[in-house]
A and B are shown apart, each in its own frame.
Chain A
Amino acid sequence: MDLFHELILGFGVAIQPVNLFYCFLGCLIGTIVGVLPGLGPTAAMSLLLPATFHIPPVTAVIMLAGIYYGAMYGGSTTSILVNIPGEAASVMTCLDGYQMARQGRAGAALGMSAFGSFIAGTLGIVGMTIMAPPLASFALKFGPPEYFSLMSMGMVVLSFLTGASMVRSLMMACFGLIVGTVGMDAVSGSTRFTFGVTDLMDGVGLVPLVMGLFGISEILLNLEQKIDREIFKTKVKGLLPTVEDWIQAKWAILRGTVIGFILGILPGGGAVLSSFVAYAVEKRVSKHPERFGTGMIEGVASPESANNAAAQSAFIPLLTLGLPANVVMALLLGALILHGVTPGPLLLTKHPDIFWGVIASMYIGNVMLLVLNLPLIGLWVQLLKIPYPFMMPMIILFCVLGAYSVANSLTDVLLMLLFGLIGYLMKKLKFDAPPLVLAFVLGPLIEYYFKSSLMFSRGSFAVFFSRPISLVCLSISAAILLWSIVSGLRRRPLPIPKEAP
């Protein structure tokens, strides 16, 4: 079957009414989540994960994916109108977007952001359509040592790129691995770290863990600060960018797309990093770098294109290698595993409906998002006016019921609260949650591949260094670790803020 026929198969799945509905729902929720500061796509996906247990896996992934890339679209609205990023990937959009709004060009900024996102998102999916099948074929050559090394590399790269401190990020990855081993050992049948609690025999659930770390902890953090949203009072008009705007922004969109696409594939890259890099690159290549931050349309087009391209390309390693590039993809991996589907090279042959259905749904989702984000912009502005005191209890209740409804277990809810408190403390002390979640999700696989490799090689660690792909992955990990150690030793110890009296 060639690419065209496979895409036809995908569209056949994606245009089924139920999938179209959930795709729209995902895009809608994603846009809302992106618009509202304080609730990111990760928290929203964690909240809705239990709701997907009642629907087929392809429909579940279509909806969850829609939330992710939908949030990338919606995030720009608050950045431009309120100067508060709706989610982390829209931070750079604040710089020029808000200035444009102050100059009475909010419509042009919002329009360019939506069109740039659409173009980048669509190009990202085209790239994914072309790249994913050969990569999946290549991954068929992987054995347990390759998978172990690849997953270890993923965790090291993620810890290196996302964390304020590499040491703390790696610590969280180890903690995630330990939490991932709670429950019954699949090989020996003995229980680990359950301490007599029967509900822990099946292990710690993904839903309580992520809901606690991202949902509850966010609420607890918001208890400390009063969330004021002052919307810039301007009439949003002229959403269609002018010819001049297009001329100024066209290369920024293309550069942002390429940067986002490449960084999205890399573990730890993702939408946030790509938007920062795209903005920096755009400023560097501009003839007027001094005007960035004063309302340049390139400053809106570039990061918005980059974060959308990255949101799409991040699916490539997940669908082809079973390796999540970021925490959102780790959630999707968890969701697929919960549905009995293991992403990886065999996904393409065993579940072509899921593989191509999800890809095709993204084409449709991007069109839906363009429609949702341009004509309905007034509605999203109104949404920003909902006071936070009204939303907070609802979010708490959704977290509690979401965690409970997975297995009708009170232990899961208590675990979620525990992880909420841990997540809150982690955020305060700048310990990063993404490596923890990635290690938790990959933990059982890493353990399986590690043990299998050792048993296969009769206890010899040489198996990881004698196979080229495994050697390359481990060399990259070692180089990153070495680089961190050397740069850490060269740098003077970071000053630690003194405790307040």
Chain B
Amino acid sequence: MKKAYILAHAFWIVFACAAAAESWRLGFGSFVRPGPGFVPFLAAMVLGGLAVAALVQTILGKSDPAAGGVFGTRDLLRVLWVIVVLAAYVLAWDFVGFLAATLLLLFFLFRCVEPLRWRTVLLASVLTLTMTYILFSTLLGARLPAGRIWTYFMN
């Protein structure tokens, strides 16, 4: 766990340095006439300072042998897997369209993340898709992509 915190605080130090550098590039200005980078630069400096303090505190802190780790490798992989699938799903909208992509995503979520029987998966996926499509597209007027592939075949 200590390692995870050291990594986290180190990340924030790097992030703060990058944000401060970019803010400085944007223009700090002066106290009389603050520039666009004025506030983000100050915020990044404070963030960096706090992250250094937290890092020192973590390094000096003792480990509790009774406690478990923050991340289990299996859990983290599962979370990353879901995020990657969701990102791929969103990027697939443009090509295969909302309906086809969502149906595939729902199959994945109902079957793979929390395994259910295929009949249940099919029924739950179709019902969820219909419900959300009616709500967002018909009632709320969201312009959901039809998908280039279907447009190609239609033409």
A-to-B contact residues, CB < 8 Å = 50-51, 54, 165, 167-168, 170-171, 174-175, 177-178, 181, 185, 187-188, 190, 192-193, 219-220, 223-224, 388-390, 392-394, 396-398, 400-401, 404-405, 408, 410, 413-414, 417, 420-421, 424-425, 428-429, 431, 443, 446-447, 450-451, 454-455, 458-461, 493-500
Contact = CB atoms under 8 A, between A and B. Distances in A.
Given A178-B44, A428-B70, A499-B2, A401 B60 contact: no
Contacts of B106: 393, 397
B150 interface: no
Interface residues of B, number: 78
Given A178-B19, A389-B116, 6 more contacts: A394-B128, A401-B142, A417-B83, A429-B5, A495-B64, A499-B63
A414 B64 contact: no
Interface in B74-123: 75, 78-79, 82-83, 86-87, 89-91, 93-94, 102, 105-106, 109-110, 113-114, 116
Interface of B: 1-5, 8, 12, 15-16, 19, 22-23, 26-27, 30-40, 43-44, 46-47, 50-51, 53-54, 57-58, 60-72, 75, 78-79, 82-83, 86-87, 89-91, 93-94, 102, 105-106, 109-110, 113-114, 116, 124-125, 128, 132, 136, 140-144
Nearest to B80: A421
A440 to B, nearest CB: 11
Majority-rule SS of B interface residues: helix
Contact of B54 (A167, A220, A410, A455): A167
Contact of A417 (B34, B37, B90): B90
B86 to A, nearest CB: 6
B69 A397 contact: no
A482 B69 CA distance: 32
B41 to A, nearest CB: 10
A174 to B, nearest CB: 4
Given A51-B140, A400-B86, A401-B132, A496 B34 contact: no
Majority-rule SS of A interface residues: helix
Given A392-B113, A454-B32, A496 B54 contact: no
Contact of A410 (B3, B8, B94, B132): B94
A188 B113 contact: no
A53 to B, nearest CB: 9
B61 A495 contact: yes
Nearest to A225: B75
A174 B8 contact: no
Contacts of A494: 61
A170 B50 contact: yes
A466 to B, nearest CB: 16
Contacts of B125: 393
A405 B140 contact: yes
B2 A498 contact: yes
B54 A500 contact: no
Contacts of A185: 36
A-B pairs with lowest CB-CB distance, top 6: A497-B67, A389-B114, A459-B31, A500-B69, A174-B47, A405-B142
Contact of B40 (A167, A178, A460): A178
A455 B90 contact: no
Contacts of A413: 90
A342 B143 CA distance: 29
Given A174-B50, A389-B114, A493-B61, A181 B39 contact: yes
Contact of A424 (B38, B57, B79, B113): B79
A151 to B, nearest CB: 13
A496 B43 contact: no
17 contacts: A167-B57, A171-B12, A171-B50, A175-B15, A219-B82, A223-B79, A390-B124, A394-B132, A397-B105, A417-B83, A417-B90, A429-B70, A454-B34, A455-B32, A459-B32, A495-B61, A495-B64
A193 B43 CA distance: 14
